[in-house]
Amino acid sequence: MNPDVYVRKKTNDKDDKYKVKAKAKGILEGYVSKMKHAFKDETIRSKLKPAFKKEIEEAIGHLNGWLKYVQNPQADDNEIKKNMKLNKKYYEDIIAKIKQLKQSSSSTWSS
């Protein structure tokens, strides 16, 4: 293999790994932000049932753990991708429920 091609391939591999980690970090931080916002927003917080509050808190803890893992230089890209796919629906379901609560509280104010 030509040394220049090898260097370019190695650089591209590093860039791809960085992109995977950066994308995952952005998504995870977005989930955490939306979930934490639910606790700060009084109109939503007052409607959160204890079991759902606990579910959000556990999800935030899990997300924070994954954020630490993603930022580790030795983190495995395949593991990150696999975990993101597995947990995407779980996190997005929680966020959808939060949005529903927010919409129901804003429609209450407008009536």
Domain ranges of the chain: 3-110
Confidence of residue 8 (pLDDT cuts 50, 70, 90): low
Which amino acid, 24? A
Q: Which has more pLDDT, 98 or 11?
A: 98
DSSP state of 72: S
Q: Which has more pLDDT, 6 or 21?
A: 21
Tens digits of residue pLDDT in 37-89: 988 888 888 888 999 999 999 999 999 999 999 999 888 989 998 988 888 88
pTM given for the model: 0.75
Predicted confidence (pLDDT) at residue 110 exceeds the cutoff of 50: no
Which amino acid, 98? I
CA distance 63 to 90: 11
